[in-house]
Structure 1
C-alpha cells in the first residue's frame, strides 16, 4: 500500500507558525510588562502629594508676562500616567513609561526634585522601591498568559 500527500498547500506554514509564535511571545511579554508598570504607577499615584486647597503656580516668565495658573487639589495625582512606548521597545525589550503629564501639571518636576526654596517630595522615584513587587506581579501575569495560551483556561 502506498499513498501520496500533496504538501504544496502547506507552503508558508512554517513562516505563519513562526509569526504566531512571535505574536504569542509578544502578548505574553506585554502582559508581564503591563502588570509591572501598573504596580509602579499605582504606587506613584499613592505617593503623589495632594494639597488641601487650590494653589497658584507660575513659570519662569511670570516676572515678564505676569501669567499664573490655578491648580485644583489632586492635579498632580491625576496627571500621572503609564503608557506603552513602542518607539523605545523591540522584540526583546518592552518599555512602559510611568510619569506625570507635564502639560496637565507643569510643577510636577518641582515637587519631584524640589527647588532652592522647597525640598523634594519625591513620589515617582520613591515608587521605584516597589520594583521587586512589580517583578513578582509581572511573573504572575506572564504565568497567567502562558496558561491562557496553553489552553488550560
Structure 2
C-alpha cells in the first residue's frame, strides 16, 4: 500500500488551514473595521479615513493568524486621545504658573465597534471559511483521467 498520496494530502491540508484562517480573519476584521469607521468622530473625518485592517506578521505564528483594526498614526496622531481620553491644558503653558488642566473624556470607537460587531463578525468568518475551504479543496483535487472512464 502506497501512502505517499495520503501523506502529500495531509501536507497540503496544513497550507489550506493557514489560508482558510487568514481568509476568515480578514472577513471578521472587515466587519470590525467598518463598524469602527462608523463610530469614529467625524469633525474632520481624518481619523475615520485613517482606520484600516492590518496583518500582524510579528504576532502571527504557524498556528495563529493575527490581524488588527487600527489607524494610521501619521494621518491621525490623535486617535489614542479620542479612544482613551486625555488631559487638556487651559491657556498658557503646563506646569507652574497657575494654568488649569481638565480631563477630556474618551470617545471610544474601536472597543465599542468590536463589541457591537461580535455576532456579525462570527457569522462572516464562518461563511468565508466555508467558501474558502471549498475553493481550496476544489483546487487541490485534480481527478485522474481513468476516473472519467
When normalised by structure 1's length, the TM-score is: 0.71
Match of 2:12 in 1: 20
The alpha carbon displacement at 1:119 in A equals: 1.4
Matched, 1:121 2:121: no
Aligned 1:142-153 pairs, distance under 5 A: 142-151=129-138
The alpha carbon displacement at 1:16 in A equals: 4.4
Aligned 1:2-13 pairs, distance under 5 A: none
Give the distance between the partners of 1:83 and 1:35, measured in 2 at CA.
12
- Unaligned runs of 5+ residues in structure 1 are 1-6, 52-72
Q: What is the DSSP-based 3-state SS (H/G/I as helix, E as strand, rest coil) of the residue aligned with 2:42?
A: coil
Give the distance between the partners of 1:139 and 1:124, measured in 2 at CA.
22
When normalised by structure 2's length, the TM-score is: 0.73
Deviations 1:97-118 (A, max 9, x none): 1111112111111111112332
Match of 2:53 in 1: 82
Matched, 1:93 2:53: no
- Unaligned runs of 5+ residues in structure 2 are 88-102, 140-149
Q: What is the DSSP-based 3-state SS (H/G/I as helix, E as strand, rest coil) of the residue aligned with 2:86?
A: coil
Root mean square deviation, CA, Å = 2.2
The 4+ residue runs of structure 1 with deviation greater than 4 A are: 12-16
